[in-house]
Amino acid sequence: MNTTETLCASFLLALLAPLQIWGDENVHQGPFTQAECLQCHTDRSPALVIQWSSGPHAGIDCAACHGDRHDRLPEARRDAACSGCHAGAVEHSYASSKHGVIVTLQQERKGWQQPLVRGNYRAPGCAYCHLHSGDHGDTMNATRGRHVREWVCSGCHAPRYVSDQFIAGLQLLEIGRLKAVEAAAIAARHPQGPAALAEPMERVKKHLRNLRLGAGHQSPDYQWWHGQPALDGDLIRLRDSVARAQRKSQLEAVDSWSE
Ligand code: HEC
Ligand code: HEC
Ligand code: HEC
Ligand code: HEC
Ligand code: HEC
């Protein structure tokens, strides 16, 4: 469609829209383009569109989660709407948590017809935590403050249990950060400078992120296997590389004296 046609189509749709009652047979089901989604929903759900355009998915079309038709809301609630784009450590840390295991076992039975509101599901999937109650920003974003997350979790868990989990998570991360600081100090002692260890230092970053995901997604696997022990392994390997490089440069110095 060219712009004029799009405008005409949207204008027609906008004329029809007020006559429609949601769930009515007459509701236009799509398919719609991104411009059409925005056109209607900027009017109908302005808060939602503002959250979307200032949140992490601002560059992502509505249809990436919703499909381009109106009858697919339940699809957007399923983990499958997220895991394609968030494959790898993000998806795996969740899949290896109790939440991920329970949701995976139950998802076919539940049908995802219920909105993602407090305590409405037995265990939380991706969107239950991150797009809670139709939130189109990121409900779990740390800058929203601890109480927002804790409120979501305490729909199912005792508040005391939840705050203990977050305190334990922060401590876990603090220890991880100390290890990253130590790694940088070891790398600085490399005779060719820290740039010689750029690759192992990338692994330190990756393992620190695993730890963050392990704490955020309540995955013991990411806290205690891909997280802390992986960082310990990094420190051992970094020390080893530096010691070997120092020995080598000392030997080279001795060689050059004896020449
Ligand atoms: C012609 C105007 C129009 C267009 C275009 C449009 N919508 Fe809607 N949409 C509505 C109306 C009307 C409702 C129901 C009332 C409300 O929630 O405001 C609705 C409701 C929804 C709902 C809630 C459904 C439910 O079961 O509660 C979702 C999700 C949605 N739209 C997504 C989209 C997406 C994604 C697009 C683009 C692919 C889109 N809409 C395009 C008018 C439109
Ligand atoms: C079409 C691809 C796509 C889909 C589908 C998608 N996302 Fe994203 N998401 C992204 C991109 C791109 C970013 C921004 C870059 C990044 O942080 O990875 C992002 C960012 C995020 C962030 C913020 C990450 C941060 O670092 O702060 C969260 C949380 C998130 N997505 C959760 C979800 C959830 C939950 C779903 C399913 C309901 C979902 N995403 C569906 C592509 C996608
Ligand atoms: C990252 C995935 C994702 C993107 C991108 C996304 N949505 Fe949604 N949307 C969801 C999920 C998940 C829900 C279900 C929330 C619930 O059940 O509480 C939802 C719910 C909605 C609803 C129903 C709100 C309510 O309170 O019941 C509307 C309307 C909607 N989306 C419109 C849009 C529009 C318009 C866009 C693009 C501007 C968009 N969404 C982009 C995942 C997404
Ligand atoms: C029990 C609630 C919960 C569930 C379920 C959940 N998340 Fe998260 N997620 C979190 C928390 C908490 C964080 C940590 C945020 C932080 O500290 O920055 C997080 C972090 C993230 C991040 C940021 C990663 C980064 O590198 O910063 C992304 C992206 C994400 N989750 C996507 C997903 C996806 C996709 C799923 C499903 C496959 C999912 N989440 C399931 C709570 C949840
Ligand atoms: C929709 C309900 C629901 C929400 C919301 C929810 N959980 Fe859970 N959570 C469960 C269920 C069910 C289990 C599995 C309990 C069991 O049988 O061990 C579980 C398990 C856990 C476990 C593992 C306990 C163990 O014994 O290994 C932790 C930790 C946890 N949740 C923390 C959280 C945190 C933190 C949040 C918020 C970011 C959260 N949960 C949100 C339902 C929920």
Residue 130 has pLDDT above 50, yes or no: yes
118 neighbors 152 (Cβ within 8 angstroms): yes
Both structure tokens of 73: 């809301």
> Same domain for 129 and 193?
no
**Ligand 1 atom at minimal distance to the Cα of residue 72:** 29
Dihedral (CA of 139, 143, 144, 147) sign? positive
pTM > 0.85: yes
> Same domain for 149 and 171?
no
Closest-lying ligand to the alpha carbon of 34?
A: 1
Q: For residues 66, 43, 18 and 112, what is the CA-based torsion angle, rounded to 10 degrees?
A: 30
Residue 2 has pLDDT above 70, yes or no: no
Q: Mean per-residue pLDDT for 109-127? A: 88
> Same domain for 46 and 93?
yes
> Same domain for 102 and 215?
no
pLDDT value at residue 17 = 42
> Same domain for 250 and 175?
yes
Ligand 5 pocket member 162 (CB < 6 A): yes
> Same domain for 40 and 148?
yes
> Same domain for 239 and 198?
yes
The total of other beta-carbon atoms located within 10 Å of residue 248's CB is 11
> Same domain for 185 and 137?
no
Contacts of 29 (CB under 8 A, 6+ apart): 69, 70, 71
Atom 30 in ligand 1: residue holding the nearest Cα: 70
Could you give the CA distance from residue 64 to residue 67 in angstroms, rounded to a whole number?
6
> What is the domain range of residue 19?
3-157
Percent of the chain with pLDDT over 70: 88
Total domain count, the chain: 2
* pLDDT confidence band for 99 (50 / 70 / 90): very high
Q: Mean per-residue pLDDT for 17-25? A: 42
Ligand 1 pocket member 116 (CB < 6 A): no
> Same domain for 18 and 135?
yes
For residues 92 and 16, the model is more confident at: 92
End of a domain among 157, 188, 211? 157
> Same domain for 107 and 206?
no
Judged by average pLDDT, the poorest of 3-12, 81-90, 139-148 is 3-12
Q: For residues 166, 170, 173 and 174, what is the CA-based torsion angle, rounded to 10 degrees?
A: -170
For residues 258 and 23, the model is more confident at: 258
